[in-house]
């Protein structure tokens, strides 16, 4: 994938931030989503066809993606287009606020686009209908094939303006695509846009692959591969397809993640049946041992400031969560609730740790503060695990498996997301069965 965000030029059009009257509170469950009208973008008549892109429908298609993004947040209620009175081009110049208020819209998105000379020019405006003011406006120039990303970037800008939080629409999710019978699953690395579009497979399925994770700073992936039947942590550059094994370990390495600066990989290394946590610096190749304990230490995850590591250990007898300094000192157990705990993942905001909890044959995804207090279970199911944070720390994506019959029939693996408020649980659409999701950072940051 090209680094096309560099080619996107962004211009701020005039707007006055003083008139921020409508806003969306995302800190609690939102049972009253904001009614928003997304007008189709007006397609300039000077537009010309470009490499199989349906230019005439582009205005509609971009606004549909924006609507779908908003709908999926659970925070917005995009209104039906049949009720729209004003034509897109006129609305973009100056909306007749009373017309839009009549259909109970509180915010309005308008825009226009031009495809010419191999370039796509887009501008959009966000209007506060209650105050009858423009809230924000932006213009972009990019290549026409980037039109889906344009829709996601517009969605991010509007989300940011209305919620005060960074958006998460111009992002991708890497996961493990699964097919075949349960006892002989074929697993491939797959990547898709956050809305399920543009699925690509990064491995062929010849060897077992597990737990891919994004580098938070670039387009690198770390994952576990059973290449040549030797389970080892690998690095993959999505742009070039280059792969390499991480470090020279004489046994299984697994459970990899990047440090927040993207320069180290933290993982488990199993030696004589005992798993401990190690880091490897990707530049200097320096390997450091972080834990040294006769129990299983795995699933390490750095805090966003890089100063702490959360991990999973059974040193107390059963799986529990622990936090230590990044040099391995000052180990503290943080979970004491009923049940056992796994897969701690530090929020990119630093305030919470997401985890999997197992109790009485049920699986929960939850969040707690980094000292283990304030545990909140967000969702309960027969089997689910492996939460991964949206880059703004507001949504978790995880995978779920269903109970199988005696021959493995009825087994499925699917990706789900839920707000950290516990609301808006939603199945993600994937082309195949899927597990082990990892959410990228914002591509256009």
Partner 1 sequence: MILNTNLKNIFLVVFTTLILSACSTAKKSGLDGDVYTGKETVKYLASGVPDRVFFATNKSSLTTASRATLRKQATYLRKNKKLNVTIEGHADERGTREYNLALGERRANAAKDYLMTYGISGKRISTISYGKEKPVNPGSSALAWSQNRRAVTVKVN
Which positions touch partner 1 (CB under 8 A)?
Answer: 181-183, 185, 208, 210-211, 224, 229, 231, 252, 254-255, 268, 270, 272-275, 296, 298-299, 312, 314, 318-319, 342-343, 356, 358, 361, 383, 385-386, 401, 403-408, 411, 435-436
Closest contact distance (angstroms) between CB of 323 and partner 1 is 17
The DSSP bridge pattern shows strands 332-333 and 340-346 to be: unpaired
CA distance 108 to 87: 13
C-alpha closest to that of 163 among 79, 76, 105, 38: 76
Closest contact distance (angstroms) between CB of 337 and partner 1 is 16
Closest contact distance (angstroms) between CB of 28 and partner 1 is 29
Q: Which is nearer to partner 1, 197 or 404 (CB)?
A: 404
Q: Which is nearer to partner 1, 71 or 362 (CB)?
A: 362
Closest contact distance (angstroms) between CB of 209 and partner 1 is 10
Residue 406: which residues within 8 A CB-CB, separation 6 or more? none
Q: Which is nearer to partner 1, 104 or 289 (CB)?
A: 289
Residue 36: which residues within 8 A CB-CB, separation 6 or more? 70, 76, 77, 78, 79, 105, 106, 107, 108, 109
Closest contact distance (angstroms) between CB of 376 and partner 1 is 19
Closest contact distance (angstroms) between CB of 190 and partner 1 is 17
Q: Which is nearer to partner 1, 154 or 255 (CB)?
A: 255
Q: Which is nearer to partner 1, 130 or 179 (CB)?
A: 179
Closest contact distance (angstroms) between CB of 127 and partner 1 is 47
85: part of which helix (H) or strand (E)?
A: none
Is 432 in contact with 178 (CB distance < 8 Å)? Answer: yes
CA distance 202 to 199: 10
Q: Which is nearer to partner 1, 177 or 343 (CB)?
A: 343
Q: Which residues of 215-235 are buried (b: 16+ CB within 10 A; e: fewer)?
A: bbeebbbbbbbebeeebbbbb
Q: Which is nearer to partner 1, 304 or 342 (CB)?
A: 342
Q: Which is nearer to partner 1, 91 or 265 (CB)?
A: 265
Residue 326: which residues within 8 A CB-CB, separation 6 or more? 290, 302, 306, 307, 308, 309
C-alpha closest to that of 313 among 294, 328, 330: 294
Closest contact distance (angstroms) between CB of 444 and partner 1 is 31
CA distance 235 to 231: 13
CA distance 434 to 432: 6
Classify residue 51 as exposed, middle or buried by CB count within 10 Å of its CB (0-12, 13-18, 19+).
Answer: exposed
């Amino acid at each position: 994938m090209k680094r096309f965000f560099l080619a996107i030029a962004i211009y701020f059009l005039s707007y006055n931030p003083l008139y921020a009257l409508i806003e969306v509170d995302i800190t609690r469950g939102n049972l009253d989503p904001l009614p928003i009208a997304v007008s189709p973008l007006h397609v300039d008549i000077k537009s010309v066809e470009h490499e199989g892109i349906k230019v005439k429908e582009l205005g509609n298609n971009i606004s549909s993606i924006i609507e779908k993004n908003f709908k999926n947040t659970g925070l917005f209620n995009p209104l039906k287009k049949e009720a729209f009175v004003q034509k897109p081009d006129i609305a973009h110049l100056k909306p007749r606020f009373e017309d839009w208020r009549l259909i109970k819209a509180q915010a309005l998105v308008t825009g226009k686009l031009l495809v010419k000379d191999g370039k796509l020019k887009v501008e959009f405006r966000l209007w506060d209908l209650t105050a009858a003011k423009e809230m924000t406006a932006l213009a972009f120039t990019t290549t026409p094939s980037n039109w889906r990303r344009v829709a996601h970037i517009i969605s991010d800008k509007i989300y940011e303006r209305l919620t005060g939080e960074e958006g998460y629409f111009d992002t991708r999710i890497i996961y493990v695509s699964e097919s075949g019978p349960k006892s002989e699953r074929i697993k491939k690395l797959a990547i898709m846009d956050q809305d399920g579009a543009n699925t690509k497979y990064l491995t062929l399925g010849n060897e077992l692959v597990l737990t891919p994770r994004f580098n938070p700073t670039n387009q690198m992936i770390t994952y576990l591969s059973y290449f040549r039947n030797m389970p080892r942590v690998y690095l993959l550059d999505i742009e070039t397809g280059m792969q390499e094994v991480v470090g020279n370990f004489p046994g299984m390495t697994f459970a990899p993640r990047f440090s927040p600066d993207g320069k180290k990989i933290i993982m488990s290394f199993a030696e004589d049946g005992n798993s401990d946590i190690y880091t490897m610096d990707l530049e200097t190749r320096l390997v450091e041992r972080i834990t040294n304990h006769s129990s299983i230490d795995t699933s390490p995850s750095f805090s966003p400031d890089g100063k702490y590591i959360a991990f999973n250990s059974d040193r107390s007898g059963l799986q529990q969560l622990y936090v230590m300094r990044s040099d391995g000192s000052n180990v503290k157990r943080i979970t004491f609730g009923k049940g056992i705990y796994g897969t701690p993942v530090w929020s990119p905001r630093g305030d919470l740790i997401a985890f999997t909890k197992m109790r009485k044959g049920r699986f929960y995804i939850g969040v707690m503060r980094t000292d283990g207090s304030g545990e909140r279970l967000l969702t309960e199911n027969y089997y689910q695990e492996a939460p991964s944070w949206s880059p703004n720390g507001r949504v978790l994506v995880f995978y779920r498996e269903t109970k199988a019959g005696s021959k493995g029939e009825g087994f499925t693996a699917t990706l789900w997301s839920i707000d950290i408020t516990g609301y808006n649980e939603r199945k993600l659409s994937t082309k195949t069965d899927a597990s082990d999701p990892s959410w990228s950072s914002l591509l256009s940051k």
